[in-house]
Amino acid sequence: MTSDGPGTTTSPGLRIPTPRPAAEPEPGGARAERLLVPGETCWRIERADRYAVFVDAAGYFAALKKAVLGARRRVLLIGWDFDPRVRLDPGSGGRARDDRLGRVLEAAVRANPQLDIGVLAWDLGQVYGLARGMLPIALLGRRTPDRLTFAVDTHHPVGGAHHQKIVVIDDCLAFAGGIDVTADRWDTSEHPDHSRARARPGSHRDMGPWHDVTSLVSGPAARAIGDLARERWESGKGEHLEPVTGEEPCWPEGVEPLLTDVDVAVSRTRPEHGGTSLIHEIELLWLAVIAGARHTVYIETQYFANRRVAEAIAERLKEPDGPEVVVLNPHEAWGWLEEKAMGTARATLLDMVREADRHDRFRLYVPVTESRRPIYVHAKVTVVDDRLLRIGSSNLNNRSMGLDTECDLSIEVADDAPDREALAATVLGMRDRLLGEHLDVAPEEVAAAVERAGGSLIAAIEELRRPSGRSLVPFDPPDLGAVGKVLADTQLLDAERTPDRWQRIRGAFGHRRAHRPLRG
């Protein structure tokens, strides 16, 4: 596994710091076992020739456009929602209509007679789309070229969603993470207070700042995600697709990899439905990283609403030498019903976690713009020590653990890896890059603050937080009220659906956190 070295770009104009040296293993070299275990906390671990991260949608959408137009045989887009009217690269010039998702897909198949493109969306996502003035993709498909297929996926339990955000190109390139190719997602990492480019298609209204993250892999890791995408296509569309073979390695021009030649794990959630068995690798991975964390757990998530993970965090916070846990959330959920379901659960779980936090090692923050306007956090990222980086589609709520389909990608730094130092520094660099965005400082300043704080991430954030301007703001939940307390206590709108494996996971993975010094 190799890093591309100093100044690696994660997307055009975005940089992480020069990797800092990571600590050496303890003398005697007690080898900690892995958190990523195929068949338990992940599905498969495959090699990625290249691996990149896109922070916020502007860079991702532009790279996706290049990749689709360069595809040779097949493009599969699997998502929660798609809006064919969204612009992919507003700064590229030319006619706006030619930059829209639907037009780009049409142009790709018309320019290449060997290319097929399939778009598969969650069926109820299209209902939400109608409320936003979207043209449903099922209707759109009636007037598109034969080799461009739009379909909706109805194969899910009642109340469930297809929540994966996957794009696979020629089975040699795959995007996977938290960014839907739809309205309200496009933004830059500057997150200005106001931007005309954030307007919904057909509107001039700025929909507000939005923070999101996704990843890109090539090689065998991309082929594994291709297997998952074709399985989803067959389940949802009823059409079997063979893998694309014989294609040359592919990578979008202008995208610099964060890492090369690195192992990437794929973790899934798949609900029990229609004869398929429950897969909850993502939930087990959440529990494993909480059990195995040595020093710090950094989480960006749309919700903090999963009792099982919150209870695991609470247990670790009670330990005299447990880890620090930092969570970034939006100020409130997107929409009234989601806020009732997830906001009430967050308030209740925060009370429990803060009561357990006897050593003052837990914080939940909300990022804000220059004028202190809340930035909506839609990213799903976890960084554990200098040991694990996870980017995916799953939220920290119950439905992501057992009701919705999800896909997360993770990189783990093995203690005995020959290039552990460089890879660990890159994992920390990504955490510092994200925090630097939110605190409006360079990633190097985050690293220096952590160093000054003796390794405490919370102390570093508190040093860098500002009372005005762009920064992070501690979250204080509102009073639940009588209805909110009932919803939170009964989990009426977001029930648990998986067996409780915390004690087994704690026993199996807790010893894998053999403590060693961690710099930064």
What pLDDT, on the 0 to 100 scale, is given for residue 210?
97
What pLDDT, on the 0 to 100 scale, is given for residue 314?
98
Question: Which has the closest alpha carbon to 65: 40, 93, 99, 95?
Answer: 99
Q: Are residues 345 and 485 in the same domain?
A: yes
What pLDDT, on the 0 to 100 scale, is given for residue 222?
97
Q: Is residue 178 within 8 Å of residue 214, measured between CB atoms?
A: yes
Burial of 357 (0-12, 13-18, 19+ CB in 10 A): middle
> What's the CA gap between 33 and 36, in Å, rounded?
9
For residue 223, being part of any structural domain is answered with yes
What pLDDT, on the 0 to 100 scale, is given for residue 160?
82
Q: Is residue 302 within 8 Å of residue 330, measured between CB atoms?
A: yes
For residue 14, being part of any structural domain is answered with no
Dihedral angle over CA of 186, 187, 192, 195, nearest 10: -30
For residue 441, being part of any structural domain is answered with yes
> What's the CA gap between 212 and 428, in Å, rounded?
18
For residue 77, being part of any structural domain is answered with yes
Which residues sit opposite 121 in a β-bridge? 79, 152
What pLDDT, on the 0 to 100 scale, is given for residue 518?
54
For residue 75, being part of any structural domain is answered with yes
What pLDDT, on the 0 to 100 scale, is given for residue 510?
80
Q: Are residues 39 and 120 in the same domain?
A: no
For residue 148, being part of any structural domain is answered with yes
Integer-rounded Cα Rg, in Å, for the chain is: 22
Q: Two tokens at 103?
A: 């037009």
Q: Two tokens at 148?
A: 């461009």
For residue 339, being part of any structural domain is answered with yes
Q: Are residues 83 and 193 in the same domain?
A: yes
Burial of 507 (0-12, 13-18, 19+ CB in 10 A): exposed
What pLDDT, on the 0 to 100 scale, is given for residue 124?
61
Provide the domain limits for residue 220: 50-259
What pLDDT, on the 0 to 100 scale, is given for residue 203?
83
> What's the CA gap between 186 and 292, in Å, rounded?
35
Last-in-domain residue among 206, 224, 259: 259
DSSP annotation string for 186-239? ---TT--S--GGGBPTT---B---EE-EEEEEETHHHHHHHHHHHHHHHHHH--
Q: Which DSSP state fits 452?
A: H
Phi, psi of 300 (to 5 degrees): -115, 125
Q: Two tokens at 168?
A: 């696979």
Q: Are residues 278 and 216 in the same domain?
A: no
Q: Are residues 361 and 409 in the same domain?
A: yes
Q: Is residue 200 within 8 Å of residue 212, measured between CB atoms?
A: no
What pLDDT, on the 0 to 100 scale, is given for residue 99?
95
Residue-by-residue pLDDT tens, the chain, 520 positions? 544 433 333 444 343 433 333 333 333 333 347 999 999 999 999 999 999 999 999 999 999 999 999 999 999 999 988 888 999 999 888 888 999 999 999 999 999 999 999 999 986 644 454 444 445 455 455 456 689 998 888 888 787 888 999 999 999 999 999 999 998 999 999 999 999 899 888 888 899 999 999 999 999 999 999 999 999 999 989 999 999 998 777 899 999 999 999 999 999 999 998 888 999 999 999 999 999 999 999 999 999 999 999 999 999 999 999 999 999 999 986 654 455 567 788 988 999 999 999 999 999 999 999 999 999 999 999 999 999 999 999 999 999 999 999 999 999 999 888 899 999 999 999 999 999 999 999 999 999 999 999 999 999 999 999 999 999 999 988 665 555 554 445 454 456 767 777 787 888 788 666 555 554 4
Q: Are residues 490 and 419 in the same domain?
A: yes
Last-in-domain residue among 207, 232, 259: 259
Q: Are residues 307 and 172 in the same domain?
A: no
Q: Two tokens at 8?
A: 């690696």
For residue 272, the SS3 value is coil
User: How many independent structural domains does the chain possess?
Assistant: 2
Q: Are residues 290 and 245 in the same domain?
A: no
Q: Are residues 94 and 237 in the same domain?
A: yes
Which CATH number is 386's domain given?
Answer: 3.30.870.10
Last-in-domain residue among 259, 277, 300: 259
Q: Two tokens at 183?
A: 């309205």
> What's the CA gap between 225 and 44, in Å, rounded?
10
Q: Are residues 441 and 303 in the same domain?
A: yes
For residue 13, being part of any structural domain is answered with no
Instruction: Specify the pairing of strand 173-177 against strand 324-328.
Output: unpaired
Q: Are residues 356 and 499 in the same domain?
A: yes
What pLDDT, on the 0 to 100 scale, is given for residue 262?
97
Q: Are residues 129 and 277 in the same domain?
A: no
> What's the CA gap between 130 and 266, in Å, rounded?
33
Phi-psi region of 507 (alpha: psi -120 to 50; beta: other; left: phi over 0): alpha
Q: Could you write out the three-class secondary structure of 283-331?
A: HHHHHHHHHHCCCEEEEECCCECCHHHHHHHHHHHHCCCCCEEEEECCC
